[in-house]
Structure 1
Amino acid sequence: MSSILTNNSAMVALQTLKSVNSNLQQTQSEISTGKAVASAKDNSAVWAISKVMESDVKGFKGIQESLSLGESTVAVARNASETVTDLLTDIKGKIVAAQEENVDREKIQTDINALRDQIGAVVGAAQFNGLNLVQGTDEVNILSSLDRTGSGNVSASNIRVDRQDLTSTSGVNGVGTGNDLSAQIVDAAGGTTTFAGSNLVNTGNSAVISFDSTNGFDTGDTVSITVGNQTVSWTAGADDQSGDVGRDALLGSLQALDLEGVTFTSAAGAAEGDIVVTSTRSFESLDLSVALGGANAGDGDAYFSAINGDAQVGTAVEEATIDQRAEEVFFTTAAAPSEGNSYQASIAGTAYFYTAGAGETMEDVARGLKTAIDAAGIEGVTTQVAINDSTGEVSLKVDNSSATTLAFATAAADGGEASGGLFGLDAIDVTSNEGADSALDNIETLIQNSIDAAASFGSAQGRIETQSTFIGSLVDSLKSGIGTLVDADMEEASARLQALQVQQQLATQSLSIANQAPQNILSLFR
């Protein structure tokens, strides 16, 4: 049935033309913008994802700039640390030269002062955009990433760079404020008893080798005395039955050893048969043993009876140890120092202190206290730091070789301000024998501190470089992912455009034909 009121063919043709034109418009938009999803109406879900990822790309580009700035700042600090290490090594060479007495130590000290001033100039100038990582102790955070969770929450990640203080400041003593930490300084290796104080004296420590005055020697009896890995022996002959003969022979042989810091004497008075072994060695204990042989070797009442009153019973060897002259304090292994913990050693009523910085160990504390005491130049006072190889426990030894007895005490508390990593550098003085000796030991600590600082900065710089490279690759990957989501396939769009143009022409002709159909009805009325 034909109708002049309703042209179904024209409506179908019109709808087809509209659909073709819509598709053609979309294809032309893809070609002109290069995007398959140019706005939210194209594909709201994909468009939303792409916009989130584009915001992340913007953020990561900002992070790349932050990493570049941080890398430059750390590079300056690393270069400064390496330069300081080289200058400290030069100072060590001067200190080594000063160990020889036949040199002009005043001129060497002048060179050391110049190198020390140069170190101060390097440390002061090692800043980038006002940030100096070789001064102070506060950590610096460099923005390194934006972490997005599946729920859409975003958090920032940072690379922490620890400042490495290479100044020579003494810090602020925290003793007397905050918590009492005195229990961290103990009086014996592995002990828990807080060090209670003592006196530093030069008299040394002794051990007494006692002989039984009621017994003599039999022919062939032998006595061997070992002191500090040196051994003397005596064998009784037929005419050597008196105990004094053996004692005198052994005493003479011991004195002939001429051991440094060790003397051998005969006890006076009622115990004149005894041999007294006295050691004034500062930082070294002395092992002592007596071995017996012959007829009386196993007798409890033999001619040799005891060392320090420890009687020989049923054994042919008796041993003892003469303690070092120096006073030794130990730092507990049960705790580590925190930043601001201040440790103090008082000698003759004057306090010398070291305040720990962030991440330091008890070894750092012991060496810091050693440096503080050495810097004072107390007559006759020398120091040494010891580390137990098996337990890692650290101790500080303080010796006094002067004729004056000095009171020695310790204390510790928190609330201080950290000493600089080159604490003690200003006090290096090689113009005296004592100063040259202490400087040689302390310069090693300073060099190690600067090496540790350079290594720390080098590690941080390497991590920043790696992160920067990763962020660059990540940005590229995100861009590629966004392109996969929203970019148009230009080959497909081009082919589709040509097809749609043909369809548009056909749809236009179809509509034209459909519009002509009612005119055919007019012929029926002619």
Structure 2
Amino acid sequence: MSSILTNNSAMVALQTLKAVNNNLAKTQGEISTGKSVASASDNAAVWAISKVMESDVQGFKAISDSLALGESTLAVGKKAAEATTDLLTQIKGKIVAAQEENVDRAKIQTDIEALTNQIKSVVGAAQFNGKNIVNNSDLTSILSSLDRDGQGNVKSASIEFRGQDLTTKSGTVETANAINRIGTVADDGTYTVGAGATLSNVANDATITIATEVANGDTVTVNFADQQFTYTNNTGIAIAVADFDDILAAGLANLGVEGVTTSVTGAGEVTISSTNKFESITIQGSSTGATTFTVDPDAGGPQPAAAADAPATLVARAETISLGGAGNTGGVVNEGDGFRIALDGKTFDYVARAGDTLNDVAQGLKRVIDAGQIDGISVKVNLSDDVISSPPTIQIDNDNASTVALTVDDGAGGQASGGLVGLDGINVSTKDGAEAALSNIETLIQRSIDSAAEFGSVQGRVETQSDFVSKLTDSLKSGIGALVDADMEEASARLQALQVQQQLATQSLSIANQAPQQLLALFR
């Protein structure tokens, strides 16, 4: 049935044209924006996911900037530590040259002071954007990542490292907060925290008492340090006690043990006097036949009577300070733990940095005492492989004309000493100063090397993370593109097809609109 009121064909053609126009508009939008999902109305779920990923990309761009800043800061710190190591190595060369007697130590000392000032200049200038990581031990964080879990929760991650203090500052000991980890060691091996002692300047003695005459054919042997005195009586008669003491005294003297003298101090008594600074001397005697004698040092307690394998110890003159104590649980040293040694009214402090061990503390105390340049005072450090059962010790010797007062103390919560504390006090103008400087410069060089290595390790980690973040950002961008980017080849082909469909739909609508015109012929 034909109608002039309702044109079904035109309505169908019109709906078809509208659909084609809608598809054409969408395709043209994809081509113009490059996105198949340009707004939430296009695909709400995909659009939401893409926006979260886009926010992560922006976050990682900021992280890349943070990593670049941190890497540059570390590079400056590493260069400063390396330059400091080179300068310290030059100082070591000067110190080695000062070991010779026939050199101008005053001129060498001038060179050392110039190099020391240059180190201070390097450490002071080693900053990037106002951040200096070689003049403190502060903890520094570099933003390194954003971590998102399955529930959408986000937390940041950081690369943390501590500055490597290469200054010469002495630190501050808070003696009011005792940590009970330092004490003088008595002859019986005990210690007393905060103890006072007299740093003696006199020799330690050991007495060999000859108990019986030396029968004919008997042999007397005395192992003394790394030397040995042996006497066999081949005279044909027994040697009286009062005669053999002269033979023994002369024989031990002829061994030439450094810092040791022998004398006859009574009938049958030979006294061995030692001003040896740091090394104890072992005395072990044996005899054959009926001959007997005893060895009794004045320090270390009485020794067993004269049989074979009964060693006695003539202890070193130096006073021994142990870094053990009631507070030495696990041998741990906390940042700010301070240690003080007072000599003749002068105080010498070392305050632990983060990461210091008891061995580091012992070496630090030696450096500051040596830097104090007290005439006649010598220091030796005995490091330990097991700081729990056998803590490191410091030996201090007094070669002055009079005794020196010695006290020790400690305290927690102080301000840490600089990593190069003691460098200022290096003085090679004397033989003793040159010898002390040689051992101290090694620990300073090692500390500088460790600092450069620490920075290099962290810098390598930052570089790796920066490379990862860059690749991760690229992957996120690719993922976003896969979700929302338009397929331009497909859109182009579809555009052309829709344009043809639009033309055909327009033509169909035109034909459909002409259908009522045919009814006019029926009324002619």
The reply to whether TM is greater than 0.5 is yes
Partner of 2:420: 422
Partner of 2:391: 393
Over the matched positions of the two proteins, sequence identity in percent amounts to 54
| Mapping 1:267-282, distance limit 5 Å | 267-268=265-266, 272-282=267-277
Partner of 1:292: 287
1:93 offset after TM fit, Å?
A: 1.3
Where does structure 1 differ by over 6 angstroms across 4 or more consecutive aligned residues? 188-192
Instruction: Indicate conservation of the 8 Å contact 1:204/1:278, yes or no.
Output: yes
The residue type equivalent to 1:303 in the other structure is T
1:218 offset after TM fit, Å?
A: 4.3
- Separation in structure 2 between the aligned mates of residue 403 and residue 376 of structure 1, nearest angstrom: 19
* Aligned: 1:196 with 2:185: no
The residue type equivalent to 2:220 in the other structure is V
1:2 offset after TM fit, Å?
A: 4.9
1:128 offset after TM fit, Å?
A: 1.8
Partner of 2:49: 49
1:320 offset after TM fit, Å?
A: 2.1
Instruction: Indicate conservation of the 8 Å contact 1:236/1:246, yes or no.
Output: no
Q: Structure 1 416/28 Cα, relative in aligned 2: closer, same or farther at 3 Å? A: same
- Separation in structure 2 between the aligned mates of residue 85 and residue 290 of structure 1, nearest angstrom: 51
The residue type equivalent to 1:87 in the other structure is L
2:277 alignment partner, SS class: coil
- Separation in structure 2 between the aligned mates of residue 377 and residue 508 of structure 1, nearest angstrom: 106
1:471 alignment partner, SS class: helix
Partner of 1:474: 472
Q: Structure 1 480/243 Cα, relative in aligned 2: closer, same or farther at 3 Å? A: farther
Partner of 2:147: 147
Partner of 2:366: 370
1:145 offset after TM fit, Å?
A: 2.0
Instruction: Indicate conservation of the 8 Å contact 2:193/2:408, yes or no.
Output: no
1:517 offset after TM fit, Å?
A: 4.5
Instruction: Indicate conservation of the 8 Å contact 1:185/1:330, yes or no.
Output: yes
Of residues 48-57 and 245-254 in structure 1, the stretch that sits farther from structure 2 once superposed is 245-254
Partner of 2:36: 36
Partner of 2:158: 158
Number of equivalent positions: 512
Instruction: Indicate conservation of the 8 Å contact 2:341/2:408, yes or no.
Output: yes
Q: Structure 1 401/173 Cα, relative in aligned 2: closer, same or farther at 3 Å? A: same
Partner of 1:114: 114
Partner of 2:316: 324
Partner of 1:92: 92
- Separation in structure 2 between the aligned mates of residue 259 and residue 319 of structure 1, nearest angstrom: 17
The residue type equivalent to 1:358 in the other structure is A
The residue type equivalent to 1:265 in the other structure is S
- Separation in structure 1 between the aligned mates of residue 7 and residue 205 of structure 2, nearest angstrom: 130
1:266 offset after TM fit, Å?
A: 2.9
Instruction: Indicate conservation of the 8 Å contact 2:206/2:295, yes or no.
Output: no
The residue type equivalent to 2:197 in the other structure is S
Q: Structure 1 449/312 Cα, relative in aligned 2: closer, same or farther at 3 Å? A: same
- Separation in structure 2 between the aligned mates of residue 3 and residue 200 of structure 1, nearest angstrom: 130
The residue type equivalent to 2:271 in the other structure is V
1:46 alignment partner, SS class: helix
- Separation in structure 1 between the aligned mates of residue 128 and residue 72 of structure 2, nearest angstrom: 7
1:37 offset after TM fit, Å?
A: 0.9
* Aligned: 1:346 with 2:342: yes
1:307 offset after TM fit, Å?
A: 4.9
Q: Structure 1 390/250 Cα, relative in aligned 2: closer, same or farther at 3 Å? A: farther
* 1:321-379 deviation line (CA, Å, top 9, x unaligned): 22221111122353433222221001123322112222222222222211221122212
Instruction: Indicate conservation of the 8 Å contact 1:283/1:384, yes or no.
Output: yes
Of residues 277-286 and 245-254 in structure 1, the stretch that sits farther from structure 2 once superposed is 245-254
- Separation in structure 2 between the aligned mates of residue 448 and residue 174 of structure 1, nearest angstrom: 28
1:142 offset after TM fit, Å?
A: 2.1
Partner of 2:222: 225
Instruction: Indicate conservation of the 8 Å contact 1:339/1:356, yes or no.
Output: yes
Of residues 393-402 and 62-71 in structure 1, the stretch that sits farther from structure 2 once superposed is 62-71
* Aligned: 1:511 with 2:509: yes
Partner of 1:358: 354
* Aligned: 1:241 with 2:233: no
- Separation in structure 2 between the aligned mates of residue 240 and residue 86 of structure 1, nearest angstrom: 71
1:183 alignment partner, SS class: coil
The residue type equivalent to 1:469 in the other structure is D
* Aligned: 1:384 with 2:384: no
Instruction: Indicate conservation of the 8 Å contact 2:210/2:293, yes or no.
Output: yes
Instruction: Indicate conservation of the 8 Å contact 1:211/1:306, yes or no.
Output: no
1:398 offset after TM fit, Å?
A: 0.9
- Separation in structure 1 between the aligned mates of residue 282 and residue 481 of structure 2, nearest angstrom: 80
| Mapping 1:2-13, distance limit 5 Å | 2-13=2-13
1:42 offset after TM fit, Å?
A: 0.9
1:63 offset after TM fit, Å?
A: 2.0
- Separation in structure 2 between the aligned mates of residue 11 and residue 218 of structure 1, nearest angstrom: 145
Partner of 2:210: 211
- Separation in structure 2 between the aligned mates of residue 481 and residue 84 of structure 1, nearest angstrom: 48
The residue type equivalent to 1:304 in the other structure is F
- Separation in structure 2 between the aligned mates of residue 243 and residue 356 of structure 1, nearest angstrom: 61
Q: Structure 1 434/405 Cα, relative in aligned 2: closer, same or farther at 3 Å? A: same
Partner of 1:173: 173
Partner of 2:407: 409
1:396 alignment partner, SS class: strand
Q: Structure 1 518/114 Cα, relative in aligned 2: closer, same or farther at 3 Å? A: same
1:65 offset after TM fit, Å?
A: 2.0
* 1:89-136 deviation line (CA, Å, top 9, x unaligned): 111111221222222121111111211222222222222222222212
Of residues 483-492 and 52-61 in structure 1, the stretch that sits farther from structure 2 once superposed is 52-61
Of residues 127-136 and 403-412 in structure 1, the stretch that sits farther from structure 2 once superposed is 127-136
1:191 offset after TM fit, Å?
A: 6.7
Of residues 31-40 and 507-516 in structure 1, the stretch that sits farther from structure 2 once superposed is 507-516
Partner of 2:260: 262
Instruction: Indicate conservation of the 8 Å contact 2:208/2:270, yes or no.
Output: yes
- Separation in structure 2 between the aligned mates of residue 46 and residue 170 of structure 1, nearest angstrom: 62
1:431 alignment partner, SS class: coil
